A = this chain, B = another copy of it.
Amino acid sequence: MDVSVDCALFGFDGEALKLLLIHQRTAEEGPLSEDELQMALPGDFVNEQESLEDAASRVLHELTGLDNVYLKQFHAFGDPNRVKGLKDQQWLRTFREHPENRVMTVAYFGLVSLHDHIPRASSFAGDAEWTEVGSIPQLAFDHDDISDLALATLREQLESKHIGFEMLPKKFTLRQLQTLHEIVLDKKLDKRNFRKNVKRMDHVVPLGEKEEGVLHKPAQLFTFDANLTHDS
Q: Spot the interface stretch: A45-53, A110-118, A120-128, A200-208.
A: A45-53
Instruction: Specify which chain B residues have a CB less than 8 angstroms from the CB of A1 in the assembled complex.
Output: 1-3, 46
Residue of B with least CB distance to A104: B3
Known: A1-B46, A3-B1, A46-B1. A80 touches B51 (CB 8 A): yes
Across the interface, do B3 and A78 meet the contact criterion of CB distance under 8 Å?
yes
Known: A1-B3, A2-B1, A73-B75. A49 touches B106 (CB 8 A): no
Produce 1/0 per residue, A32-69, CB < 8 A to B: 00000000000000101111100000000000000000
Copies, count: 2
Residue of B with least CB distance to A106: B76
Instruction: Specify which chain B residues have a CB less than 8 angstroms from the CB of A46 in the assembled complex.
Output: 1, 78
How many A residues face the partner with a CB closer than 8 A? 18
Is A181 an interface residue when CB atoms closer than 8 A count as contact?
A: no
Residue of B with least CB distance to A75: B73
Q: How far is the CA of A49 from the CA of B79 in the complex (A)?
A: 9
Instruction: Specify which chain B residues have a CB less than 8 angstroms from the CB of A73 in the assembled complex.
Output: 75-76
Is A102 an interface residue when CB atoms closer than 8 A count as contact?
A: yes
Min CB distance A99 to B, Å, is 16
Q: How far is the CA of A79 from the CA of B46 in the complex (A)?
A: 11
Q: How far is the CA of A51 from the CA of B76 in the complex (A)?
A: 11
Min CB distance A160 to B, Å, is 9
Q: How far is the CA of A130 from the CA of B46 in the complex (A)?
A: 36
Across the interface, do B52 and A104 meet the contact criterion of CB distance under 8 Å?
yes
Residue of B with least CB distance to A74: B75
11 contacts between A and B (CB under 8 A): A1-B1, A1-B2, A3-B78, A48-B102, A50-B80, A52-B76, A52-B78, A73-B75, A73-B76, A76-B76, A78-B106
Chain A residues with a Cβ under 8 A of chain B = 1-3, 46, 48-52, 73, 75-76, 78-80, 102, 104, 106
